[in-house]
Amino acid sequence: MAFLGVALQLSTWVTGPSQMMAEVAKDGLLPAKWHFYRHDAIGVAQNVVITQAVLVSLFALLYALPNINSVFLMLVNTAAFIYCTVYGIIGLAFIRVRYLLPNQERPFRVGKTGNGGAWAVTGLLMFGILMIALTTLISTDLLSAVFMLLITLLLFATPLIIEHFKRPAWLIDAQADLQNGGN
C-alpha cells in the first residue's frame, strides 16, 4: 500500500509539469539542446517526462532499503519540506511585489491601505512554515533530516544554476527548431 501511495503521488508530479516545462523551454529559459519544448501529437513533452521518469525511478530505488515505512515517511516529509520552502518564497515574493509595484492594479488587495496587512499575513505564513519545517526536522532521525535538506537544497539550487548559465542562444535555437518542424 505504501508503494501504491507514493506511486500515485509521484505520477502526478511526472505528468503535471510537462506542459509548463515545455513553455519555459520555448521561452529560452532552458538549454535548447535538451529539447524540452518539443511535444508529441497528443501534447506530451517526451523529454521532460523521460527526465522525470528517471528521477522518480531513482527515488523508487529507495524502497529497496530494509525499512519501507521509514523510507515512505522520509519521502513524504521531504515533499512537505519542499512545499514549505516554496510557500516561504511565495511569501517573500508577495512582500517584494508590494514594494516594487505599489500602484499595480490587482484583482484583490490584502489590507485597505499600506503594507501592514501584507506583513501580518506573510508573518503568520512564515511562522506556520517555520513550525512545520522545524517539527518535521525534529521528528525525524538525523539521516532522514540530512536527506530532506539535501534534496530541498538541490531542488532549490538547480533553477538558480540554470538561470546563472542562461544564454540568449537558447531562445534563438529553440525558436529556429520549432520553425523548422520541431514539435
In order, the DSSP letters of 123-135 are: HHHHHHHHHHHHH
The values of phi and psi at residue 166, to 5°, are -60, 140
CA-wise closest residue to 132 among 117, 115, 152: 152
pLDDT digit string, tens, across residues 16-70? 677 788 888 989 999 989 988 888 887 778 888 888 888 878 888 887 878 888 8
The average pLDDT across 153-169 equals: 92
pLDDT value, residue 123: 93
pLDDT digit string, tens, across residues 59-111? 888 878 788 888 888 888 888 888 888 999 999 999 999 899 888 888 877 87
Task: Tell me the C-alpha distance between 101 and 121, whole Å.
Answer: 18
The values of phi and psi at residue 139, to 5°, are -80, -5
**What are the residue ranges spanned by the domains of the chain?**
2-179
Residue found by looking up cell 514549505 in the block: 84
Task: Tell me the C-alpha distance between 13 and 123, whole Å.
Answer: 29
Grid coordinates standing for 151?
Answer: 534534496
Task: Tell me the C-alpha distance between 58 and 68, whole Å.
Answer: 15
Model confidence, pTM: 0.71
Task: Tell me the C-alpha distance between 183 and 172, whole Å.
Answer: 15
Task: Tell me the C-alpha distance between 181 and 183, whole Å.
Answer: 6
Q: Is 173 helix (H, G, I), strand (E, B) or coil?
A: helix
Grid coordinates standing for 102?
Answer: 505599489
